[in-house]
Amino acid sequence: MAKETETKTKQAPPESTRTGRPRAVREPRMMTPTEDVSGKSGRPPRKKADLTVRREGVSAVTERKPEPEIIRIHTGVDRVMLALIVILLVLGAIMVFSASYPEALAQKEDSMHYIKKHMIWMGLGTVFLIVASLVPIWLYKWAAPYAYGVAIVLLIIVLIPGVGISNGEARRWLGFGEATFQPSEIMKVALVMILAWYLDKKRELVLDRSAKGKTFLYAGLYPCLFVGAACGLVLAEKHLSGTIILGLIALFVLVVGGAHLGWVGLLATAFGVVGGGGFLLLNPYAQQRLSTFFDKNADKLDEAWQTTQGLLAIGSGGFLGVGLGASNQKHSYVSEAQNDFIFAIFCEEMGFVGAVALIILFLLFIWRGYLIALRAPDIFSCLLVFGIISQVGIQALLNIGVVTDVLPNTGVPLPFFSYGGTSLIILMAEMGVVLSVSKHSYLKK
């Protein structure tokens, strides 16, 4: 046993120092974060994967890793928003066919006339949606002033006699052969783009409240000039509902974008009183609509016919509806059954439950759109998405308000549902813009 111990001792001799004296062998241990990690050799400290090293005097002191930050990542389009868009488009197509086939059969001798054209516009709109979703955000920002300029020029061209196409009192359309479109629909998205561009480009001046004169100019007058030019031209077309929609969209974007609420409200009120009052004085038919709305004893078979028939359609639906395709009011009772009053036909066929479900669907769409706006990578794209989603929400609210006799009767289409080529194609292009922005979001890592 003594020999074995002696042999093991020889195999592991004690470690020696410069003087040759033996010293005890210590077990290696882990260094604490406050100890020197450079060693006595003078070599630079090693970089740790999870530590940041900082020199203080002759020693290296390690710090804690910084808190996780919110970083931007690039992903695919928002699937929830895409699903909501598809659901609304499919429901809209079904209702266009259901509401339009009696009139199509009576006037065109083809019950599929309106739905065929609607499906063609949906196909073309799908192309615009896909292309718009592939366009990078910076290109929309670059194109904003040009889009607004083109929309202004088109609105001026509409007012030229012999060029713009009239329908009753209004001149709102431009035509190329059999195809027609409304420049006011283009202005809706162009106005959102130019306001988002301005509020992003002049952000420091817009938010500066140090001088009243500068605040009035940059946070009030200048952005309102964009709005005033657009609303003035659309109002000159005798398109009151389009003017109201443009004004409300602009107000939403300006308030969210940091414009001065007081100056914007004052300028908007002034324009509304002067422009709206002048419009009513020069257009007796608009006065008639207002008087009919406030006069609950108006002739139900004459000036109040359309509103009355719409309310009858809603009431006939009851709780569960009469069934898809079984509406009676769409047989020449409700005017524009496939267009402005399509919500009334939907209520009749799907009932109270269906109407509430549709409103909830629109609310989910608005919620998801605003969520995409909040996650947008910059001010421009945030305001762009916010304006587009607000446009859909405002139009849906106004349409339902008119059909239910809460608001005066004006021609406001229901987004995704009402029959109309220009509005549907541009709406789907706007959805492509929203999906393009949705590819960029902020996530915690």
Q: What is the pLDDT of residues 104-149, one digit of tens each?
A: 998 888 889 999 999 999 999 999 999 999 999 999 999 999 999 9
234: its two tokens: 């659309």
Do 435 and 78 meet the contact criterion of CB atoms below 8 Å apart?
yes
Rounded Cα distance, 194 and 317, in Å: 43
Question: How many structural domains does the chain have?
Answer: 1
Asked whether residue 8 is assigned to any structural domain, the reply reads: no
Of 146-150, 260-264, 331-335, the range with the lowest mean pLDDT is 331-335
What is the mean pLDDT of the segment spanning 84-96?
Answer: 97
SS3 378: coil
Closest C-alpha to 312, from 353, 344, 351, 338: 344
Residue with tokens 């998205």: 189
Q: Select, from the ranges 42-51, 70-79, 339-348, the one with the highest average predicted confidence (pLDDT).
A: 339-348
Extract long-range pairs of 111-119: CB within 8 Å, 24+ residues apart. 114/338, 114/419, 117/421, 118/93, 118/419, 118/424, 119/93
Q: Is the pLDDT of residue 238 over 90?
A: no
CA distances from 224 to 57, 201, 228 (A): 59, 16, 6
Residue with tokens 């004459």: 302
- Look over the chain and give the mean of its residue pLDDT values, rounded to a whole number: 83
Task: Output b/e per residue, 228-247; b: 16+ Cβ within 10 A.
Answer: bbbbebbbbbbbbbbbbbbb
Rounded Cα distance, 22 and 14, in Å: 6
Higher pLDDT: 276 or 244? It is 244
Percent of residues, the chain, with pLDDT higher than 70? 81
Amino acid at 329: Q
Do 274 and 243 meet the contact criterion of CB atoms below 8 Å apart?
no
Do 413 and 395 meet the contact criterion of CB atoms below 8 Å apart?
yes
Dihedral angle, C-alpha 408, 414, 415, 419, nearest 10 °: -130
438: its two tokens: 């949705």
Q: How confident is the model at residue 172 (pLDDT cuts 50, 70, 90)?
A: confident
Asked whether residue 177 is assigned to any structural domain, the reply reads: yes
Q: Which residues contact 6 (CB under 8 A, 6 or more apart)?
A: none
Percent of residues, the chain, with pLDDT higher than 90? 59
- pLDDT value at residue 48: 42
- pLDDT value at residue 70: 54
- pLDDT value at residue 20: 44
- Please state whether the predicted TM-score (pTM) of the whole model is above 0.75: yes
33: its two tokens: 């974060």
113: its two tokens: 């006339």
Q: For residue range 318-328, what is the model confidence (pLDDT) as tens digits?
A: 999 999 999 99
- Quick one: which H or E segment has residue 16? strand 15-16
- pLDDT value at residue 83: 97
Asked whether residue 440 is assigned to any structural domain, the reply reads: yes
Question: What is the domain range of residue 189?
Answer: 73-444
Asked whether residue 201 is assigned to any structural domain, the reply reads: yes
- pLDDT value at residue 378: 93
What is the mean pLDDT of the segment spanning 327-337?
Answer: 89
Q: Which residues contact 273 (CB under 8 A, 6 or more apart)?
A: none
What is the mean pLDDT of the segment spanning 354-361?
Answer: 97
Rounded Cα distance, 387 and 424, in Å: 17
- pLDDT value at residue 47: 44
Rounded Cα distance, 181 and 368, in Å: 29
Q: Is the pLDDT of residue 15 over 80?
A: no
Asked whether residue 45 is assigned to any structural domain, the reply reads: no
Query: Taking CA 309 as the corner, what is the angle to CA 307 and CA 314, rounded to the nearest 5 degrees?
Result: 95
Extract long-range pairs of 68-72: CB within 8 Å, 24+ residues apart. 68/444, 68/445, 69/445, 70/442, 70/443, 70/444, 71/442, 71/443, 71/445, 72/377, 72/440, 72/441, 72/442
Q: Is the pLDDT of residue 12 over 50?
A: no
- Radius of gyration of the chain from Cα atoms? 33
Asked whether residue 106 is assigned to any structural domain, the reply reads: yes
Asked whether residue 42 is assigned to any structural domain, the reply reads: no
Q: Which residues contact 300 (CB under 8 A, 6 or more apart)?
A: 308
- pLDDT value at residue 100: 93
Asked whether residue 306 is assigned to any structural domain, the reply reads: yes
Q: Strands, E, within 122-169: which ranges?
A: 165-167
Q: Which residues contact 268 (CB under 8 A, 6 or more apart)?
A: 224, 227, 247, 251
Cβ neighbours, 10 Å, residue 290: 12
What is the mean pLDDT of the segment spanning 257-274?
Answer: 92
